Structure 1
């Protein structure tokens, strides 16, 4: 865990520098010295705050997960109470523009690649996955879908969210958030239609959410 005393400003500088270094050099080639150079600090100061490269990388992933959680929570607050609108809000939060620039996508994929080898990163990944699954399952359940089916649908849509991320990362050009959201919204509507669930069109839900954000 990070040492007590690191300021929020310095912590943000280090997190941003770590993400940039991973994008530029890859996970394995990212060193404390490279991160320190980008952050304008000495490697010794970083070691004082975080102890090791692994601790800094873990703190970076935790920070990114916290930011993602905040983005999803914000979208849910801005959405209407309709379950379908809230499903779109969850998707939109996961594909917020701030999370889909090439540097951030590269960092996420680099972390996921280390999950099988680093227990703490694996724990963080499981937290992310359970949270996404729970959010999706809750809204599907509010539509009257049977419990077993809600778990299945949450797994399908959660896997699609992760899959779109992986493809974008492999392409190396960032992520088209509009296309990603449309693809997943269309998939949700197809699954709901197959189960006889009548809902408003996703575009109408997004328009209502956008109007609420504008008037807030």
Structure 2
């Protein structure tokens, strides 16, 4: 975590530099030296405020998660509480458009996703993100399905979001938000039909 009193301009500057360097050379080669050079600061600034590379990586992931959360909650605030399918689409879109769809952000996400399997703090942040996604989905899905079925569908949608996002990140053409929305809505419509016939 960055120390209290860090100039507000420095933190975003270092986070952006971290993502730029990860985009260019990958997570393992993203050294403090390269990041500080990209940000135009001394390596001592990073060590002082973040305690080294790991602290800066953690703050970068926190910033990506903050941006994701703000995008989704902002979109949900604009919609009526009973517009459940529209609200589900707002959650889907939040994962595929804007900041999250930027190439360097997507590559940083992918690097963290892999790295979090071997790092407890990053794994914890990844779990927080997963729980938040499921929570957002369940609020809407419980209005459309029984509780047990809503949980199954929420996990299905979350898996589709992750899978489509992963494929899009590895695709040179990037993430296609419209296609993601179409695929996930097709799944949702089939689940609504299936459970309504039971």
- Deviation for aligned residue 1:172: 4.0
Question: Which aligned runs of 4 or more in structure 1 are off by greater than 4 angstroms?
Answer: none
Task: Identify the residue that residue 204 of structure 1 maps to in structure 2.
Answer: none
Q: TM-score, normalised by structure 2?
A: 0.94
Q: Give matches, 1:58-97, under 5 Å.
A: 58-81=58-81, 82-97=83-98
Paired residues of 1:75 and 1:92 also in contact (CA < 8 A): no
Paired residues of 2:67 and 2:99 also in contact (CA < 8 A): no
Q: Give matches, 1:27-176, under 5 Å.
A: 27-81=27-81, 82-143=83-144, 145-176=145-176
Paired residues of 2:71 and 2:94 also in contact (CA < 8 A): yes
Unmatched segments (≥5 aa) in structure 2:
none
Q: TM-score, normalised by structure 1?
A: 0.86
- Deviation for aligned residue 1:6: 1.3
Q: CA RMSD in A?
A: 1.4
Task: Identify the residue that residue 22 of structure 1 maps to in structure 2.
Answer: 22
- Deviation for aligned residue 1:185: 2.1
Unmatched segments (≥5 aa) in structure 1:
198-216
- C-alpha distance after superposition, 1:9-42 (max 9, x if no partner): 1100011111111111111000011111111111
Paired residues of 2:92 and 2:181 also in contact (CA < 8 A): yes
Query: 1 CA distance for matches of 2:173 and 2:51?
Result: 33
- Deviation for aligned residue 1:181: 2.1
